[in-house]
Structure 1
């Protein structure tokens, strides 16, 4: 704290946090010698006197010819380059930040209603840097900017620069984290907003446990992967106070899914305002606090009203029924389209490729929809073997050094590491424990599809007095509830009972969904039901879609595929009219997977 000492600011030996102390510039003239009018943020090194207005930064460099109290601070820069910047500037900038100008302080106070002391506590600073400009005269131009500094564990990791025309710029190559993240590490509650001024608005009314999500209303929440356990695991209440436009609503839905709808409370601002700062400016601090207080508590589990469903109803009102997402396989997309919040049950004769086709579905959802997946698949062990199978589907050839390069190996491993997780609970394969681990994958990594392969590997604990049919009904209810609460597609692989031979032949009968071993509830209580049927003599795999619960997601029908044993891919084909005739692959079928640009 030598730099504070150089300024004459007594920090009483403290090295972190926020405090108030006596102002060295006006204290001698004060009649009340006990008044501590100087606010100091020991983490950001900024200070502000509420009596004389002195403000600046203690992070000065001694011996540089600057005057005592010169509010100039030079922050570390990120690595990276940007060839489009002016040649006189360093590529990513090496901006020197100083205390806000009086004009900026007055603008924040009068226009945004953010008090000066809040700006100091939040570490908002000033810099003059080159900014990208739009319009007819595109290029770069020197602009005076507000600097929103992003600290993690007290260290600066990024800065967002904002000029008076709402142009933004981040340090290139720096880490992307939420704004003010340190403020919520150990708090029982927190508030999530969509912009820095919204965060400052809550600070202005006394709620410092607020963060602004990075990149605005972006529903890609990769930053949650590394912060969920340390910053959100123990939260009792999480307020989602994002914008009320379409993108804001999408962000709100995804945050609720990841963080848990049971502890999220949605803040609204009335029809006239779209965010927290607009409400603060128009109605004042009490109105913003009232909006926070009025955020509804999670509804009683199992009960719903039209008001609870207002957002979904309005989406239906505006857009109509969703048709689900496609897999990019034309003949199958015609009869089945998938949606989160649903259960898909897959069956078929053992050895006909149920698991392999499920992998096809999962990877297509990852590559086309940018979903993430979780597996409980004890049959697919060791897990590295399963990953090798997935890699072959992605690469389009064998997963061996004779067929792949080291670069391909690195890329496919990196891709799978960011998209697929396996769980193998230590010795406890009960449904409750498996779904608990899956819920952690939703929370920490945002998975949207979860596979249980197969049903018989679950440690089924049928209560005394309950029939197998009743138990399977309860089991399917648990899957449906998990799918609904976590907005996941749950895929269940279930084996059929022992099938009979077709009359007069040695060929096994093709099972139906009603033939799954145990109960017709597998068919009755699933949303989608498909049967994988491999016809070896014809060289065709048929996918029989036997159920789609709602007609907007498809209809019953069959889709024929050729299976490539070298890479595990399924390609649509036209079956021959008679056995022995040649199968006709669909034009472009072999490119269906690779054309998605999975890396």
Structure 2
């Protein structure tokens, strides 16, 4: 018994597990099945030579005491099993063939045959393997076999390699504390509140990404841009929604150095660049127009656009949202893009899987975009057309609401922000209306502001006219 006494194991524990000495050299550890019958004997010497009975059934050590426990503690080796029994834990087991040097996750690995031979009823598995390379490999193998949802792990005190060393250096009370404080193994997609403590504290202390103002005071009162959110811009065709959004993006690139990835196949990329350089230079592009930009101004503007805008194109097919988000991910990682623009939604493949309805297709499209925004900390804007609206008595259309967007009510329900850009013929202005702001007060509120389109500068400008002056000589221009 002196060998075990040196390791803090009492005579009572040794006798409980029916350990004996064979041929004066080999310490024999009997292995028992759940009914108590002996099915194997493992032998070891003080110098760490090992052998087992030939052709014996591979079972877990201490399986007879632990097989029906709700919680199982997995350790590495018979000595650690005895250590935990000494500390009052009978629900502890060990594999008969030790730990692998490398985790290979081979389901046919004979080292783990004991797991198949010894079914366990436990709903919780605490992994207490050695704190070394082989122990970490065994840890990984056990998690692979039992699943993360069942597995918990322990924290080792500094300088200790296994459970017996902890017991000898710190006592049984420390073993009890370590097991009581075992940590749930992280499960992908499932988190505890404590895992968010740091981020909640940051929110409390004001240490978080603040919404970005566009730079137009009237607009900033009702609409700001917060990373990780999903925005929809709607409006009747040719009412200016795409042009207004381009100006917002250009303003953010100028003032905040943001970069954007754009999928906008309604026009060629060259035509889109034409619009962006006009916004950048505040001058006309086309020949024959007054205030036309010079070639040097064009080159300077293109160089600036090249630093802030990237374009997704497909030559021979209509891409689906998975393709667009995959390319946008590359743009975020490679170029540091802060926003993704899909303009318009109806240029994305509408092919549905199986018997999927249109509203389900829209729901999944929005969900993927929102997940992309959160995961990559970017803003996603989608330009979406409304359904055909009825005319009012004056022959004009009302500004579309969130529920007028073509496809499904999911646009209203799932979006973080919905903007309507609407041309007011009576007042000869452009109205920008916030139809939805999920977190009002943080990045906007429900409201409206008006802009005029200055044909000379190619810019939407805040409407500062008095109520009795509403004439704009360039009103006939088409914006989208």
User: What do residues 332-362 of structure 1 show as CA deviations (whole Å, max 9, x unaligned)?
Assistant: 1011111111011011111101111110111
**CA apart distance, 1:464:** 2.3
Structure 1 unaligned segments of length 5 or more: list them. Answer: 1-297, 586-599
In the other structure, the counterpart of 2:214 is 327
Equivalent of 1:572 in 444, 448, 462: 462
**CA apart distance, 1:413:** 1.2
1:433 aligns with 2:323: yes
In the other structure, the counterpart of 1:119 is none
1:513 aligns with 2:399: no
**CA apart distance, 1:378:** 0.4
**CA apart distance, 1:386:** 0.9
Q: How far apart, in 2, do the equivalents of 1:435 and 1:546 lie?
A: 26
Q: How far apart, in 2, do the equivalents of 1:573 and 1:374 lie?
A: 30
**CA apart distance, 1:404:** 2.4
In the other structure, the counterpart of 1:388 is 274
Equivalent of 1:371 in 228, 233, 258: 258
Q: How far apart, in 2, do the equivalents of 1:493 and 1:431 lie?
A: 14
In the other structure, the counterpart of 2:159 is none
Where do 1:137-148 residues align within 5 Å? none
User: What do residues 245-302 of structure 1 show as CA deviations (whole Å, max 9, x unaligned)?
Assistant: xxxxxxxxxxxxxxxxxxxxxxxxxxxxxxxxxxxxxxxxxxxxxxxxxxxxx96543
8 Å contact from structure 2 (residues 219, 449) kept in 1 = yes
Q: How far apart, in 2, do the equivalents of 1:583 and 1:389 lie?
A: 26
In the other structure, the counterpart of 1:415 is 304
**CA apart distance, 1:488:** 0.8
1:450/1:318 Cα in 2 relative to 1: closer, same or farther (>3 Å)?
A: same
In the other structure, the counterpart of 2:430 is 541
1:528/1:341 Cα in 2 relative to 1: closer, same or farther (>3 Å)?
A: same
Equivalent of 1:558 in 431, 448, 461: 448
1:395/1:299 Cα in 2 relative to 1: closer, same or farther (>3 Å)?
A: farther
8 Å contact from structure 1 (residues 449, 489) kept in 2 = yes
In the other structure, the counterpart of 1:494 is 384
1:582/1:354 Cα in 2 relative to 1: closer, same or farther (>3 Å)?
A: same
Where do 1:101-180 residues align within 5 Å? none
Q: How far apart, in 2, do the equivalents of 1:429 and 1:471 lie?
A: 15
Q: How far apart, in 2, do the equivalents of 1:299 and 1:333 lie?
A: 41
8 Å contact from structure 1 (residues 344, 526) kept in 2 = yes
Q: How far apart, in 2, do the equivalents of 1:364 and 1:340 lie?
A: 16
* Root mean square deviation, CA, Å: 2.3
In the other structure, the counterpart of 2:283 is 397
**CA apart distance, 1:425:** 2.6
Equivalent of 1:461 in 351, 359, 384: 351
1:314 aligns with 2:204: no
User: What do residues 525-547 of structure 1 show as CA deviations (whole Å, max 9, x unaligned)?
Assistant: 00000101111342210001111
Q: How far apart, in 2, do the equivalents of 1:500 and 1:480 lie?
A: 31
Structure number with higher relative contact order (C-alpha < 8 Å, ≥ 6 residues apart): 2
User: What do residues 89-132 of structure 1 show as CA deviations (whole Å, max 9, x unaligned)?
Assistant: xxxxxxxxxxxxxxxxxxxxxxxxxxxxxxxxxxxxxxxxxxxx
Query: Which SS does the other structure have where 1:309 is aligned?
Result: helix
Where do 1:50-65 residues align within 5 Å? none
Q: How many residue pairs were aligned? A: 284
8 Å contact from structure 1 (residues 327, 365) kept in 2 = yes
Q: How far apart, in 2, do the equivalents of 1:536 and 1:509 lie?
A: 11
8 Å contact from structure 2 (residues 418, 437) kept in 1 = yes
In the other structure, the counterpart of 2:108 is none
Where do 1:330-345 residues align within 5 Å? 330-345=217-232
Q: How far apart, in 2, do the equivalents of 1:324 and 1:497 lie?
A: 31
Where do 1:214-225 residues align within 5 Å? none
User: What do residues 448-478 of structure 1 show as CA deviations (whole Å, max 9, x unaligned)?
Assistant: 1110000100002222232222221111111
1:313/1:395 Cα in 2 relative to 1: closer, same or farther (>3 Å)?
A: same
Q: How far apart, in 1, do the equivalents of 2:191 and 2:285 lie?
A: 50
**CA apart distance, 1:505:** 2.6
In the other structure, the counterpart of 2:367 is 477
Equivalent of 2:469 in 558, 582, 585: 582
8 Å contact from structure 2 (residues 428, 471) kept in 1 = no
Query: Which SS does the other structure have where 1:493 is aligned?
Result: strand
1:406/1:532 Cα in 2 relative to 1: closer, same or farther (>3 Å)?
A: same
Q: How far apart, in 2, do the equivalents of 1:553 and 1:324 lie?
A: 6
If the length of structure 2 is used for normalisation, what is the TM-score?
A: 0.56
